[in-house]
Chains A and B, each alone.
Chain A
Amino acid sequence: MADNEATVTEEEPKVLTDLEKVGEPAVPRKKPKDVHGDELTGSIKVPKVEENVANHKPYLCKPVTMEKLGFPADLREDWHDAAIAKMADLLKKYKSLQVYMDICVKCGSCTDKCHYFIGTQDGNNMPVARAELFRKVYRRYFTTEGKILGKLAGAERFDLDLLGEWYSYFHQCSQCRRCSVFCPYGIDTAEISMAAREIMDHIGVGQKYTNDIIAKVHDVGNNLGMNPKALKATLESTEEDLEEETGQKIRLPLDEVGAEVLMVTPSADFFASPHVESLLGYAKVFHQAGISWTFSSAASEAGNFGMFIGNYSHMQKLASRVNDAIREIKPRRLVVGECGHAWRVAYSFWNTIIGPFDTLDPKYKRPQHICEFTLDLVKNGGIKLDKSQNDHLVPTMHDSCNVARGARMGDKPGGQFTIPRELIKASCNRYVDMDQDTIMEKTFCCGGGGGLLTDDLLELRVQGAMPRMQAFSKVQETHGANFIALICAICKAQFTKILPKYGVSMEVAGGVHQLIANAIELGAKQ
């Protein structure tokens, strides 16, 4: 199919290439406070729909990185045909995509459920409208209805403009699955935005932030690009700090063959703040319980951005580092640190993509979440907590969407809600929940998930955090809440950055194991 648009040149002095056109965000855009006003009111209002007020676009991925990941360096000449071919391929591989393309009745149930719509007011950020960007193309090329009726049926040719919209709006979805909860058919827009990103990567349109990180992990082993030497040094200096603080020799072991537990955690835990506070929590728990454990430099990253771009091979290859580590360390148990999407990948996908974990002890869950691990110890007396250490805090729990709606902890449905809460309550005297419509399975994303945690999308991140901030400001007002307990590395980074924009101190955000670290009683057991 010939592509007319490709030959049209712009009137502007600087001629943009097609790829640049796709990546060029439209201005003007609404600022965060144009949508929700200056002050937090504590209530979440559904805004009026407007068009094209949030045409945010993240930076395009550099050609070298694209090539490293096996994607075309530039927008392919035949991008149109290639995109359709890739779409056909994905429709055959994913039942979710195939079924969700056909069955949306556009009932509108999901339209007011996305934090990005609530925060930006942009109609295309309503989940069904986002998915429609994909469906337009699907209908045009894959359905009789769309081929015959065209626009009347909501079918459209895939052209550069539409590709530009794809690039914008499929990078304004944190793949949090909140919409899916409220859809009568469970249509999961996250699945659709993953597929869209996969198609875009295959025609040469990649997102810088996510792809850089994937390349870094293939390269050095973690999102932060910390090589084993640097990692070792960091852990050692943290060990020293710990000894100074507690007077105890609490270890942060690395690559210790034969350890009982292999701990895989997001690399941000190694030195970002407040992440590292949770790291201290893990270390204290292992220390006090007397269970030998180790990190691994091969698998120094629990996060898996391969999921964000919907690329099965990359996701699998990133995860396979855990297998390498298991072979090397020969642990009996595998435990995963605080991270939302990482836990979704670990819990829901690892067994499929890198399992089965036959060498691990079947007495324990394979893999186990650090919250499951710690709560077991609290319950069987393996560790003791002194709640009064946290008396200055009134925590509330932000359920990470990937854990809440994409994974589980414990044996019962909903364990992902009760287990972290039990831990918080075991380590603090006070606790308050935010509004029921904003927690547990209905939790609002922090606004920075799904590969959007990048400064080129900062405005969007502020807007997307709005519903969560409203809910928090309410319990702040009514119950004096002053701590948002988190179980996700991205949530932690996002809140630390976004809280000050809403006039809240960034100290308010911290991990569940930060509370444990405060409360745990170290030293000889009675």
Chain B
Amino acid sequence: MNKRYDAIVIGAGHNGLTNAAYLAKSGLDVLVLEKNSYIGGATVSRELHQDWLYSNCSYVCSLLRPEITRDLELPRHGLQVVPYGGSVSFCSNGDYFGDYPDHERQYREIARHSIRDANAYERYEADVMKQTRLIRPFLLRTPPDPVSLKPRDLKEMKYLMDAFADLGEEGLADTLRFWTMSIADYLNEYFETDVIKAHLAGSGIIGTALGVYSPGTAYVLLHHYMGDVDGTVGAWGFARGGMGAVSDALASSFRSFGGEIRVDSEVEQIIVKGNKAVGVALSSGEEIAANIVVSNLDPKRTFLNIMDEKDLPSDVVSKARNFKIRGSSGKLNIALDGLPTFNGIPKNSPLMQTDMHMLDSLERMERAYDDWKDGAWSADPYVDMLIPSQVDPTMAPPGKHMMTVFVQYAPPQINGRDWTDEDRDAFGKTVIDQIANYSPDFKDLILHCEVRTPREIENEVGLTEGNIFMGELTFDQLLFNRPFPGYAQYRGPISGMYMCSSGTHPGGGVMAAPGANAAREILADLKRPNLVPEAYADD
């Protein structure tokens, strides 16, 4: 071993980079090690077809904490997030439901399906907003340890209790129901129209190995609603230049503080000596010493792959083994020769620039989940699909387009065996056929298509089972239970070892909060001033 770093961050995902940026900003000598030849992890733009940029994992941005964007000066480092408005679900009968950002337009469109639903939407929106208002202040806070008597934990616990108390008695009951119920049950309390329920239910299952009738899916909807673009809560946007722009800006900010990134450097082992992390060993055999080691990998990979079980307390080993991180999604990234036509909407409709979905009832969504339980991909899949090149001029040549298609459900294994290339191609064909059902000229426009199953997502990105959130967002794995009880404050079980990935609070998505929260804890342990900003107040 030669040089000793103050800190090594394993993985150049956006959380690893955020964490590293704060440590470097504080004056520490920080090295980020990335196994791939490119940085970003699941927040990346790749040119896999000449002149086309694919956001080939994450594709839209809302959760990214504005406090961090501003504090790390990400706009100056090249990041621009451009909101798009709304979404649309196509129906099998040729009709569609369009969700517009403008409230009055939205009312009219819902009323076209049901006047009652149009009005109920206002009640729904207020109720969901109550939940986002509750959760948002916690995104940039470390969860309290509920059984600890340390002053800071008591203070945080009080903050949490106060937030709940602020909801009032009825609000508290609603919240407990909301956090535990299914998205279908929740929506049934507001709406009568099938397509509207199906349209809204999508956010409850994305990235989750649960169906619309499974308890816990209402919270998953909240996870997609609690972000914002420029203060508009629930809005989503494109990162100009693809999602890689987020990682590139973070990396540039990190480097501006003197940080160092090494790609093609896979960490094989965190070296532990005397119950303390002292460095890492790369798969090349090289060893690098550091006072602190931070893992940007999911909890399973962190504790079961790059740590020796003998170095760990048994409870951590078993908790990591039991951690729920099930693959449920796939993705297609497609280069198109022109803009496709969709049934029912003209090409200049604002709905063309929104999230597109293709299941028009909760029934069809649940059937799609049934296939997953049977160990197969959905024959009638749910997609979350966008054509960002209509808005972002950097993604494809003028007049050509890039389409991103997120697919639910794809199991981590096919009937208990590994995915094969033939399975992957057949999965891709199922999705393309599904889209073509609603877009007659779509197939003829395809120039190139990248198909990613949980197998590719696991192997290339390093997300166990291809789970996009690095662990399911169910109540048993949230807040002070994320990743596991007793370890929710970003500290690992041995000294000098920390976690900063989406597997920690507040969870998955391109949010940068886990990385920043972990940095706050590390700086506190080092007795250095905190640099991580506080959350903006909603009220």
Does B associate with A? no
Chain A residues within 8 Å of B, Cβ to Cβ: none
Chain B residues within 8 Å of A, Cβ to Cβ: none
